[in-house]
Structure 1
Amino acid sequence: MISRRNSTLALASIALAATFSAASVRAEEAPKVKLATSMGDIVVQLDPAKAPKTVENFLQYVKDKHYDGTVFHRVIDGFMIQGGGFTADMVQKPTRAPIPLEAKNGLKNDTYTIAMARTGIPDSATAQFFINVKDNAMLNAPNPDGHGYAVFGKVVSGTEVVDKIKAVATGNKGGHQNVPTTPVTIQSATLVK
């Protein structure tokens, strides 16, 4: 006869195994998006389990081809590279309505993670995103503004491309600072998985 203690241990072991199995399946099934840039390809793996609305929003912009032809318009070595909102002549593309902030999802603004850019208003993210080029703990929720920035994935291929982009020369253009002097264009953004 199985004792209550042994049956509890057996159930706990099964639950733990199922959790690890489900986590690895989720990682394998997580969508990946390839950003084909003028400096090489970057592949990001998204985390819909932790940032469902943010991932859905990003994927809709990918499906709409919104990112095709946009540039990384804000590049700060030692901080991040930001893109997805402007053309090379610094014209902002129209966007859909802003989404709710999902910054308190447990994901951190660590090196090579992708997060949504926003204004000072928490629920203001639309299409622009950034890739952290260092650990940016000050962007995690709660940060000094009390809200943080929503991480929704990570770079799984092309970190060397991110490193090349972060090192480009920048200047001022169209009222914006830290704009690459030679445009770094996102030629296409495609769902690869």
Structure 2
Amino acid sequence: MRPLIALLLSVAVASLNAGPKPQVKLTTSMGVIVVELEPQAAPRTVENFLKYVKKGQYKGTIFHRVIPGFMIQGGGYVDYLGKKRTEASIPNEADRALAAGLKNKRGTVAMARTPDPHSAAAEFFINTVDNRALDFKGKANDKTWGYCVFGKVVKGMDVVDRIQAVKTSNKRSDFLNLPVKA
């Protein structure tokens, strides 16, 4: 099996609407996903994401982590070998987003990160189910910070569902749940 490179987040990201809730269009090889952002709930996170959009950071990237019944993650790799450079990470706003009513529910978009709660940079994920375990629970330790939701899919959830249904492989230790071609 070969890694699936062009099929998923072959993203040409274009800003559709720069109003109070900007919308961003993710064009994938499986269809279009439109995401509406929530700058009032997560201002630094939305600003960071839009900075990468305007820079063209997401063009040609893939959804490199696909876990059915959980989420699809992209924005960091052009293929299974090429990680895109990012700028400094941003502070985690999961507490602020949750206070504004944003939770890791099906169709929401959140920042991906390492175990360090303040390590998010460019990678993001789309929740394919309600993931309450990913919501902010407190600042007691790294595990309770949660993942900052900063938008939601307003068009193309069927595309997200098709992407999450793609066969994946765990044969590479550096890429788990990597989409593959048969």
Give the structure-1-normalised TM-score.
0.77
1:181 aligns to 2:176 (yes or no): no
Q: For 1:42 and 1:122, locate their aligned partners in 2 and report how far apart those are by CA, in whole Å.
A: 27
1:121 maps to 116
| Structure ranking higher in helix proportion | 1
**Higher RCO (Cα < 8 Å, 6 or more apart):** 1
Aligned to 1:167: 165
Larger Rg: 1
CA distance in 1, matches of 2:160, 2:60: 18
Q: Is the 8 A contact 1:115 1:151 kept in 2?
A: yes
Superposed counterparts of 1:1-193, under 5 Å: 29-104=20-95, 105-106=97-98, 107-142=102-137, 145-172=143-170, 173=172, 175-182=174-181
Q: Given that residues 100 and 124 in structure 1 are in contact (C-alpha distance below 8 angstroms), is that contact kept between their aligned partners in structure 2?
A: yes
User: Structure 1, residues 138-178: CA drift from partner, whole Å, max 9, x if none?
Assistant: 00001781100000000000010000000000013472110
Cα distance in structure 1, aligned partners of 2:93 and 2:149: 8
CA distance in 1, matches of 2:81, 2:124: 16
Q: Secondary structure at the match of 2:47?
A: helix
Structure 2 contact 33–156 (Cα < 8 Å) conserved:
yes
SS of the residue aligned with 2:87? coil
Q: Name the amino acid aligned to 2:67.
A: I
| 1:29 CA displacement | 3.0
Greater shift, 53-62 or 87-96, is seen at 87-96
Identity score, percent: 55
RMSD: 1.4
Number of residue pairs aligned between Structure 1 and Structure 2:
155
Structure 1 stretches of at least 4 aligned residues deviating more than 6 Å after TM superposition: none
Contact 2:112 2:124 in 1 (8 A): yes
Measure, in 1, the Cα distance between the counterparts of 2:87 and 2:149: 20
What TM-score do the two structures reach when normalised by structure 2? 0.82
Structure 1 regions of 5+ residues with no counterpart? 1-27, 183-193
Task: Name the CA distance, whole Å, in 2 between partners of 1:179 and 1:89.
Answer: 8
Counterparts of 1:135 and 1:34, CA distance in 2: 23
Q: For residues 81 and 43 of structure 2, what CA distance do their matches in structure 1 show?
A: 30
